[in-house]
């Protein structure tokens, strides 16, 4: 099995990854430009002396969760001087299969935080708890059974509602930030 060091070294730097994005680049950049790290968060200062030095991101361009979460991670990584590399989930599913959500789903993005020796320190993803609650509740409230004739149309409507919230709701961005920082501190 390929180790994390090999995956990291064979992955794409986050800057060029964002530049070549096709699906969600404009929205990701917009979120990045709109989100600001809190100026007085003592947790960031605490993390500056931690073992973290790298983040291996498992994602795909089309992913709405990544569109929202990556810009927040990018800010955190810049503040903490972490090297961030992006691995395309679908290029080799052996990596994502080590980080299945609920033991079965290849959900993305997944952020694998590494130390200088490419050892995993902690993992975050694919969603902050508050965002997951929103998505779960929305799906429960709007989606009919899968055999309903309107099911596919309702799925598309639901995805559009979720995506629009991700692009505009700064409370979600703050929830993602807090969730990532807390995971890094409390593992």
Write the CATH number for 42: 3.40.30.10
**Has residue 140 been placed in a domain?**
no
Domain containing 66 equals 4-128+172-186
Tokens coding 100 = 């299945």
The pLDDT tens digits of the residues spanning 93-106 come to 999 999 999 999 99
> How many CB atoms are located within 10 Å of the residue 67 CB?
25
Percent of the chain scoring above 70 in pLDDT: 99
Tokens coding 116 = 């200088």
| pLDDT at site 30 | 97
Tokens coding 133 = 């609650």
**Has residue 122 been placed in a domain?**
yes
**Has residue 44 been placed in a domain?**
yes
Residue for token digits 């930030």? Answer: 177
Strand partners, 101: 105
The pLDDT tens digits of the residues spanning 121-162 come to 999 999 999 999 999 999 999 999 999 999 999 999 999 999
Position 187 confidence tier, pLDDT thresholds 50, 70, 90: confident
Alpha helices in 90-169, H assignment, sequence order:
93-96, 129-142, 151-168
pTM of the model: 0.95
Decide if pLDDT at 2 tops 80: no
**Has residue 85 been placed in a domain?**
yes
**Has residue 133 been placed in a domain?**
no
The pLDDT tens digits of the residues spanning 9-42 come to 999 999 999 999 999 999 999 999 999 999 899 9
**Has residue 100 been placed in a domain?**
yes
Mean pLDDT of the chain: 96
Position 109 confidence tier, pLDDT thresholds 50, 70, 90: very high
The tally of domains found in the chain comes to 1
Q: Distance between CA 88 and CA 35 in Å, rounded?
A: 25
Q: What is the mean pLDDT of residues 43-54?
A: 95
**Has residue 78 been placed in a domain?**
yes
**Has residue 150 been placed in a domain?**
no
| pLDDT at site 152 | 95
């Amino acid at each position: 099995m390929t180790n994390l060091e090999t995956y990291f070294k064979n992955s794409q730097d986050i800057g060029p990854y964002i530049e070549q994005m096709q699906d969600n680049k404009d929205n990701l950049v917009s979120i990045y430009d709109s989100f600001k790290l809190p100026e007085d968060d003592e947790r960031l200062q605490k993390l500056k002396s931690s073992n973290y030095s790298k983040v291996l991101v498992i994602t795909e361009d089309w992913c709405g969760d990544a569109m929202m979460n990556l810009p927040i991670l990018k800010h955190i990584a810049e503040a903490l001087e972490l090297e961030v590399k992006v691995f395309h989930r679908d290029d080799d599913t052996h990596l994502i299969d080590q980080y299945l959500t609920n033991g079965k789903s290849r959900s993305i993005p997944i952020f694998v935080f590494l130390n200088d020796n490419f050892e995993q320190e902690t993992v975050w993803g694919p969603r902050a708890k508050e965002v997951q609650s929103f998505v779960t509740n929305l799906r429960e409230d709007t989606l009919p059974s899968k055999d309903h004739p309107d099911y596919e149309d309702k799925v598309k409507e639901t995805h559009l509602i979720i995506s629009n919230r991700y692009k505009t709701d700064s409370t979600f961005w703050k929830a993602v930030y807090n969730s990532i920082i807390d995971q890094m501190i409390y593992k």
